[in-house]
Structure 1
Amino acid sequence: MAPDKIVAVNVEEIGGAMRAERAARGWSLADAAREVAALAARTGGRTASPASLRTQISRWENGRVVPDADSLALLRTLYGRPDLAVGEQPAVDGPAASPAERLRAAVARAHAVDDGALRLLRRQLALTAELDATLGAAGAATVVAAQIEQLDVTSAHAIDPYRRRAVAELLARAALLGGWQALDQDEADVAFARHRQAHDAALVADAPPLAGQALAGCAAALLAAGLPAEAEAVLTGAPESGPGGAWARIARAEIRIAGGERGEATRLYDDAAALVEDTDDGERVLWRDGVVPPVLAPQVSHRRDAAFAPYDDEALAHLRAGVDEPGLPARERARLRTQLVLALVARGVREEAQEQAGRARELAGAIGSRRAQRLLDEALG
């Protein structure tokens, strides 16, 4: 054992050691999950899916659960830490719970989520949404991942249809947050998985606005991965009306823009705007007006201006004014500022682009947006 290593003898120490090793390598949770999965593939081991493994690593690092023996072996190899081991655990009286007993316990925990608990879960997620709007993934990703896991288990074991739909709606909202965070962190694979999870939950909840946004997120992840045909295909079955329909049309418009079809993109943005105009006020704001921006009914004008700013003078003027709009969440401010830089570079206005890039990088760094940083680097060289 290396002399400068501290032996990890309990869950908290293991978690702290894992977190320190990951930080020393500059890895995100998704980076660590990919490295663990790759190591397992090379050595014949098995792991969870990338999205689930990312959540597991977060829970291990936070001392919530003990890594299993196989996972610990992978972590020891990955980090070069033979000292990562769990000390003796206190003996448990009686035999271990049987599979049937574990299922009964899970169903009982889900059944305990009554109307009062649902109100608390909604309040908890609302606060998380506010935290995300202020700090982005840098300050809220771990909290969101933990809430997704909790809601996913509860939804899976809820027997009462009303409770299952209610929990599934919260799961859809949480997974949407996680999906947009992952896309912001330039983790297209995790973003796609989270948005798929949100879509499945939205179908259980019978929530078309959430289902439409989830499919738009799937399309955005596929488009970011260079798969425009697949992005178009994933939108099959998206809602045709309401906020969900607006999200689907925006996603299709962005696919058209990427393919140079500006005329068709204009029509789709206009259709989306018309659907938003027909949206009930109760669907416009996810939590509280002025705190979290409209996400059920999207801000069509922002997205259209960002898409057309490289070619259209009016759109560029709107985008210049929009980047300083009061009340925008941190992720939207960083996205719009980055899009403004890209538009200015496309128009050859390098001096203003450089000036705006400094502010965009500051915003991106504050919220942990590796995607914005990459786009700025690619545009400015």
Structure 2
Amino acid sequence: MTSPAYDEQPARTVLEDKIRQRRQTFEEFAEYAETFAHEHREPGTLSARHLQRLAAGRRADGRPIGPVRPATRRLLEHIFGCSVEELLGPSGRDDATPEVSGLPQQIHELSSAIAASQRVDDETVLLLRQQVDAIRHLDRRLGAITLLPQLREQASYVAGLLHHAIAPRMRRELAAVLADACTLAGWQSMDRGELAHAWRHYETATAAAREAGSPALESHALAEQAVTLLDIGHTRAAVDMTVHARALGDRAGPRLLRTWLAAAHGEALAAHRDASDSLRAYDDAGELLPAPTDHESPSPYIALDATHLARWRGHALSRFGHPDAIDVLTSALECHDQSFTRGETSLRVDLAHAHAISGHHDAAREHRAHARNLALTIGSVRQQRRLAQSNA
């Protein structure tokens, strides 16, 4: 990772100073700018390397950086609300003796960050968890299109608290929140078709889960990360990753998690065209599924019941062209909780595929049209892509 914008030297430009105030590295701000551009329909792009040149105010050889491209200019001005000329101007700090003049500011920034983290208590952690949960419940109804930027900001904020926390117990608590937030951000990014972002979120989630000392959170993040491998056609690697996730989760994970991991393994095997082992994994999941009256640890959050599991199994059956696929998926649709909009979209994509294979073209068109409308409503690029592939 690039060194933080807030390193040993004082800010050279207003742009660099503003990035420091956000407590972001150049890579983190470049990623934020990319998301901002996408959400606000800005055509400009900004790599971490180009951002470093702009923040320095000069090229590496000391020459002026030259004019900023119009699209990049508009993007930066949209983000910060001031002109590029102002952003690339000197920060206004006394740079005559940087090793002296920069030190008080560094001490102030670091002390403030540590002090903020020291104010975190159990109630604060609970509030942070509840914020992630609120986004999760909105996401399953409305999709990620408007929620993903908010979630990324939340994850960045929790990461800042974690990186400056000192007490080991509080570090573990914050790391668990970060793992949960980044796992959700990975899933949302994947649904939006942002696979590289999704991968990075899952990498952060697994690292945070390890710091939290939670094999359950780590296995959950790994199994979701495997879906990104499925989406790029690396099915063997996805199978291996879900095997590892199951091994982690089976050590001490709650029964519902182990059920979910078995089903995730079944999905990877289905994509790898291993029908017998896939259905065996779904059988394992069915045997592990706890009764609705069982109450287990809520970490990690998993929405899984007999209907969800049937939908998941039906997805595998539709991949194989199995004759039971339509009945299993139709039954799941009849019992489906309509608050899970993305789940219904995926289910109808699978039904469209299963009916098309069986020659039921009218039913296939009906489910495809319904799925397309839902996918457009929630902004699911992933489901739109699945529909396009099923039409090919």
2:171 counterpart of 1:164: yes
The equivalences for 1:223-234 within 5 A come to 223-234=230-241
The equivalences for 1:240-255 within 5 A come to 240=250, 242-255=255-268
Aligned-partner Cα distance in 1 for 2:365–2:184: 31
Over 3 Å counting, the alpha-carbon distance change for 1:285 and 1:106 in structure 2 is closer
Partner residue in 2 for 1:256: 269
Q: Deviation of residue 102 (structure 1)?
A: 2.9
- For 2:134, the aligned partner's letter is L
Match of 1:119 among 115, 122, 126: 126
- Does the residue aligned with 2:385 lie in a helix, a strand or coil? helix
Match of 2:207 among 180, 188, 200: 200
Aligned-partner Cα distance in 2 for 1:194–1:151: 13
Cα deviation, 1:63-117, whole Å, max 9, x if unaligned, reads xxxx94679x899427164775163899679955444443332222111111222
1:192·1:222 contact (CA, 8 Å) conserved in 2? no
Instruction: Tell me how large the CA RMSD over aligned residues is.
Output: 3.8
Aligned-partner Cα distance in 2 for 1:217–1:75: 43
Aligned-partner Cα distance in 1 for 2:191–2:369: 18
The equivalences for 1:329-368 within 5 A come to 329-368=340-379
Computing the radius of gyration over CA atoms, which structure comes out larger, 1 or 2?
2
The equivalences for 1:258-277 within 5 A come to 258-277=271-290
Residue identity (%):
27
- For 1:200, the aligned partner's letter is A
1:341·1:356 contact (CA, 8 Å) conserved in 2? yes
2:313 counterpart of 1:304: yes
Aligned-partner Cα distance in 2 for 1:275–1:228: 25
Aligned-partner Cα distance in 1 for 2:305–2:210: 15
Cα deviation, 1:174-219, whole Å, max 9, x if unaligned, reads 1111111111112222222212222222222233332222111111
2:380 counterpart of 1:380: no
Partner residue in 2 for 1:183: 190
Aligned-partner Cα distance in 1 for 2:41–2:146: 20
Aligned-partner Cα distance in 2 for 1:306–1:19: 31
Partner residue in 2 for 1:239: 249
Aligned-partner Cα distance in 1 for 2:115–2:66: 34
Query: TM-score scaled to structure 1, two decimals?
Result: 0.74
Query: TM-score scaled to structure 2, two decimals?
Result: 0.72
Cα deviation, 1:137-191, whole Å, max 9, x if unaligned, reads 1121111111111111212222212211211111111111111111111222222
Unaligned stretches of 5+ residues in structure 1: 1-10, 12-16, 49-66, 288-292
Q: Deviation of residue 21 (structure 1)?
A: 6.5
Unaligned stretches of 5+ residues in structure 2: 1-17, 19-32, 59-64, 78-82, 95-99
- Does the residue aligned with 1:323 lie in a helix, a strand or coil? helix
Partner residue in 1 for 2:296: 282
Over 3 Å counting, the alpha-carbon distance change for 1:370 and 1:326 in structure 2 is same
